[in-house]
Amino acid sequence: MRYQNRITIDPEIMHGKPVIKNTRIPVYIVLNLLAGGLRPEEILKEYPDLAREDILACLEYAAELAQEEVGILEAEGIR
């Protein structure tokens, strides 16, 4: 799957934050819900406009961002 098929960035929508296409649901909301322990099924129940593929696209997007070199983390920041 390519996340670009399900995620878009438009300066006119949510101040340019990445969102699920055809919604105003930001990617960071989905990621925060997953990080908070919600299962995909629970997220889909709360956000019926989403599909399972949207959640997977959010994870793929986050994984790609995590591979970017953004600088060295200071020891205090990673404890």
Residue 9 carries which DSSP code? -
**Mean pLDDT over residues 8-12, rounded?**
95
Give residue-wise pLDDT tens across range 16-75: 999 999 999 999 999 999 999 999 999 999 999 999 999 999 999 999 998 876 665 555
CB burial of residue 56 (10 Å; 0-12, 13-18, 19+): middle
Q: Taking Cα atoms as reference points, which of 34, 35, 4, 10 lies closest to residue 24?
A: 10
Flag whether 20 is in a domain. Answer: yes
Is the confidence at residue 79, as pLDDT, over 80?
no
E strand spans, 1-79: 7-8, 19-20
> For residues 19 and 11, is the Cβ–Cβ distance under 8 A?
no
- What's the CA gap between 16 and 19, in Å, rounded? 8
CATH number, domain with residue 32: 1.10.10.10
Q: Assign 1 a pLDDT band (cuts: 50, 70, 90).
A: confident
Flag whether 77 is in a domain. Answer: no
Q: Is the pTM of this model over 0.85?
A: no
Looking at the 3D structure of the chain, how many domains does it have? 1
- pLDDT value at position 47? 97
